[in-house]
Structure 1
Amino acid sequence: MRKLSRRHLLQGVATFAVTGCSQGKSEKNAVTASTTKKSTDEAWAAANEIAANINIPTFPTRTFDIRDFGATANNDSDSSQAINDAIAACAKTGGGKVLVSGGSYLSGPIHLLSNINLHIDEGATIKFKTNPDAYLPAVFTRWEGMEMMGYSPLIYAFEKTNVALTGKGTLDGQAAPTIWWAWKGNKTWGLEGHPSQKESRDQLFAQAEAGEPVEERNYADGHYLRPSFVQPYRCKNVLIEDITIINAPFWLLHPTLCEDVTVRGVHLQSLGPNSDGCDPESCKNVLIENCYFDTGDDCIAIKSGRNNDGRRLAAPCENIIIRNCKMSAGHGGVVIGSEISGGVRNVFAENNEMSSPDLDRGFRIKTNSVRGGVLENLYMRNCTIGEVRDAIVINFNYEEGDAGQFDPTVRNVHIENLKCGHAKRVFQVRGFKRAPISDLYITNVVFERADDPGIIENVDGLHLSDVKINGAPFTL
């Protein structure tokens, strides 16, 4: 493995040391460039068609106000029953809008039904209880890519059609260092003498790897696996629009095994451990647009199940469009993995802005030979990164590293028209020698200031065109 030194980079070196990579010569590249341009244009046309054909739920005009069912906006009275009663009554008539307005309400878990639009008006807030017992009985859920019976997500829908969460109001999970987040159990978040998730997490991993039935994986009462905030599970036609979500126990938006999902105009802000912004997992046809992320973990992370459970379900995440979003703090802006054993295909990210001293990575793929997965047809264009630690990361040595028998397949990755202001490191691209990354295209990319060019190794078919680092052309 060879690296350019910072001294050489800052002197404007025009070449870059790459190990284990292949690249065609000029005449061949001229043909390849023309063919690639046509194929990428066709891919982006397909992306627009996918977005245009995602089913967005519509609802009858009838409205059910939760106050008519006994909800009280005083932050102290428990409005759980009133909210769920309003949902049940609305569903019984064929569906419509369940309205939350007029102040701040306290609630336990909210379970959506088919044909329900839970609408939180601007100025209204639902604050969620912090007692874990409120999220019992256990429900069928997925935690870090493994199916189990666990605490109910704060807002949950199971096998429903036409569900929505809309409005300019706020959902507040009320998580804090001493509430929910302490279950993480590390030096940053753990409290002395407080139980943590580690034992339960390890036990769940072992059960999933052994293929034990999901109904025998009970991880609610007496365990410490934090629930997702919003989780539609095996749902069709899902809309999450305009809402603000803060202080989440765990992942904020977690659509799982869903089809036709639209996430639009949401404001996601939670800086706790594992506060991923939006994690579509094993979903098909997803549009994420015009959203804002300020999160304690990945802003967007595309997933498809972990290890044996991901391979057992064999449900890839596919046809994902991410556009016009802004990412601030987070472990990564647009991320694929790490629970990616079921594979991913056809991901399109465009016109996104990322920047923060606290943003660790811009575009990131994370997997290993334990996770595996086939990851293909991944496109990013017209994005800007202001300040970031690592700009482009494809890492086959994530977490457990090279410790399994399921080599990942990563192929047909296109990054074009990317501008980065300051990267501490440009590339961290590392395939396996026995299983290299295949066909990586980096086109018209500018890194205005970089402290370290980083590493590229084990890429079969590295295509670089019009790439500049610190004002110097970047070539092989």
Structure 2
Amino acid sequence: MKIKTPGFLKVVCASLVLTSLGIQSCKTNNKEDKKDIVEAVDPADKIIQSITIPVFPDKTFNITDFGAVADGTTLSTDAFEKAIAACHEEGGGKVIVPSGKFLTGPIHLKSNVNLHTEAGAVILFSKNTEDYLPVVHTSYEGVELMNYSPLIYAYEQKNIAVTGKGTFDGQADKTNWWPWCGSTRYGYTEGGPHQRNEQNLPRLRKMNEEGTPVAERIFGEGHHLRPTFFEPFECENVLVQGVTFTNAPFWVMHPIKSNNVTVDGVTVSSHGPNNDGCDPEYARNVHIKNCVFDTGDDCIAIKSGRNNDGRRVNIPSENIVVEGCEMKDGHGGVVMGSEISAGVRNVYVRNCIMDSPNLDRAIRIKTNTLRGGFVENVFVNNVEVGQVKEATLKINTHYAIYEAQEGEYIPVIKNIHLKDVTVKNSGKFGVLIRGRKEAKIQNVTLENVTIDKAETIMSVEDSEPVKFVNTTINGEKPGEK
């Protein structure tokens, strides 16, 4: 497939999006015509250019020199810790994981450290939950807490990376971590522990509602909330490049409260419960490119906290570019929500392929009146969709799962634009929108979009009229007879 160079994102500097990025219009003082010339600027490229990618000193620290054993059975947690500490203390460099199978507990990164995996390296994570203690400051479904350590974790660090050609295998399966979701599909048996037991999610939800200090939201041992796989928490200048993640307990990549994040050429092949591929949360200046997502949940889900926690933190996720990626199985290709209470803005999706009979939607926005929040300035350009189950574009402000989700926080969704998108099989709907009478969905446009094989062309409630320009669904021009 040939990918076209995007032209749609080149907009004038005086636009809403460029104003939010702080880009000013340019003028000329040419005396001959004295005309103001506004420079055409691609705001997605401006975001990419602003992101700092970490660079590391030319020093190497091989984990085998610190006691790691490549037999897949000897626990090498201490060796990883010692190698990372030595690298950090000497000003930074690469911690090398050579070819072979290495068993470890959680890996905690430090500033100026690049955890680099060579071809043939497989990092197997322990199935013993006690290895992920003591608890650390982390997050579960948009709510901060003290819980089991993520498998790869960094807290308040700068210039960190996970790179190379190796594979990180979380070893989660129907006997380990996954049954805690409570679904028999993933190994749960009746009467067993699961996340919806009173001491787990209900307890955390109540702490969220009551504003319990995070330091007092202690879970971990005796509780059943699964850890994320890779989580840089309040970090700056983060790079994930080339590696493969598989068999995750929960969300795979979760950059939270982090700035300048680059995810490049990563493969996520993980079909467990809640196995989202990449979930930027309260994250700014994020570039996700050239990745393959084959997941048990959303391929990419942009988030910003759940309910009161999101409003307390109040950091929107913004300035996020997704390009050159392939989305296979998943609940959605690029999704915003549902934990979205602090809002999302300035999202650019371009030059991607989305195609699988097990991919539910291409672009999805989901929230409700407990979450509230906002989504604005979403630009989808030059995307090829082979097959999805439900819809090419779905916007839902009545999202609910397990329990009622109605409250007093009316979500605001506006400026959602698709251009140069082709869809061979859109499933049940071409466009599916459910807004709110109190705050209708605003300014949705489809331009140069072709959608085929939709059972229903569109279903739109409580939205301003969708604007269609040179667009066909099932060969018809929406709005025309």
With the length of structure 2 as denominator, give the TM-score of the two structures: 0.90
**TM-score normalised per structure 1:** 0.90
Deviation at 1:36, TM superposition (A): 9.6
In 1: Cα distance, 2:374 partner to 2:17 partner: 23
> CA distance change for structure 1 residues 465 and 202 in 2, over 3 Å: closer, same or farther?
same
1:444 lines up with 2:441 in the alignment: no
> CA offset at residue 460 of structure 1?
2.3
User: Among residues 157, 175, 193, which one is paired with 1:195 in the alignment?
Assistant: 193
Q: 1:35 to 1:69 in 2, by over 3 A?
A: closer
Q: How far is the alpha carbon of 1:428 from its aligned partner?
A: 1.5
4+ residue runs over 3 A deviation: 34-44
Q: Is the 8 Å Cα contact of residues 11 and 42 (structure 2) preserved in structure 1?
A: no
Residue 426 of structure 2 corresponds to 423
Q: Distance in 1 between matches of 2:397 and 2:339?
A: 13
Structure 2 distance, partners of 1:194, 1:173, is 22
Aligned equivalents of 1:411, 1:176: Cα separation in 2? 40
Q: Pick one of 88, 94, 118 that aligns with 1:97.
A: 94
**Aligned pairs for 1:107-146 within 5 A:** 107-146=104-143
Name which of 399, 407, 410 aligns with 2:410.
407
State how 1:32-51 maps to structure 2 within 5 Å. Answer: 39=15, 45-51=42-48
Counterpart code for 2:421: L
Identical counterparts, % of pairs: 48
**Distance of aligned partners of 1:402 and 1:136 in 2 relative to their CA distance in 1, 3 Å threshold:** closer
Q: Give the C-alpha shift of residue 471 in structure 1.
A: 1.6
- What secondary structure, in the 3-state scheme, does the structure 2 residue paired with 1:472 have? coil
Q: 1:402: Cα distance to partner? A: 5.9
Instruction: Pick closer, same or farther for the CA change 1:62–1:452 going to 2, 3 Å.
Output: same
Equivalent positions of 1:176-255 (< 5 A) are 176-189=173-186, 190-199=188-197, 200-255=200-255
Give, in angstroms, the shift of residue 384 of structure 1.
Answer: 0.9
Q: Quote the residue 2:291 is aligned against.
A: 291
Q: 5+ residue gaps in structure 2?
A: 1-9, 22-40
Q: In the aligned structure 2, how far is the partner of 1:45 from the partner of 1:175?
A: 41
Q: Distance in 2 between matches of 1:35 and 1:112?
A: 40
Assess if the C-alpha contact under 8 Å between 1:122 and 1:167 holds in 2: yes
> RCO higher in 1 or 2 (8 Å CA, sep ≥ 6)?
1
**Residues 1:398 and 2:402 aligned together:** no
Residues 256 and 282, structure 2, Cα contact 8 Å, conserved in 1: yes
CA deviation after TM superposition for structure 1 residue 187, in Å: 3.5
CA distance in 1, matches of 2:434, 2:413: 11
Unaligned runs of 5+ in 1: 1-33
**The residue matched to 1:332 in structure 2 has which SS?**
strand
Distance 2:307 2:80 in 1: 38
Residues 386-435 of structure 1: CA deviation (Å, up to 9, x unaligned): 00012110001101566100000001111111110001121211110111
Instruction: Name the structure 1 match of 2:164.
Output: 167
1:85-139 CA-to-partner distances (Å, cap 9, x unmatched) read 0000010100100000020100000000000000011111100001110000000
Letter in 2 for 1:117: N
Distance, in Å, in 2 between the alignment partners of 1:188 and 1:397 is 26
Which amino acid in the other structure matches residue 417 of structure 1?
A: D
Tell me how many residue pairs correspond in the alignment.
Answer: 443
- Cα RMSD between the aligned structures? 1.8
1:260 aligns with 2:260: yes
Pairing 1:55-66 to 2, within 5 Å after superposition: 55-66=52-63
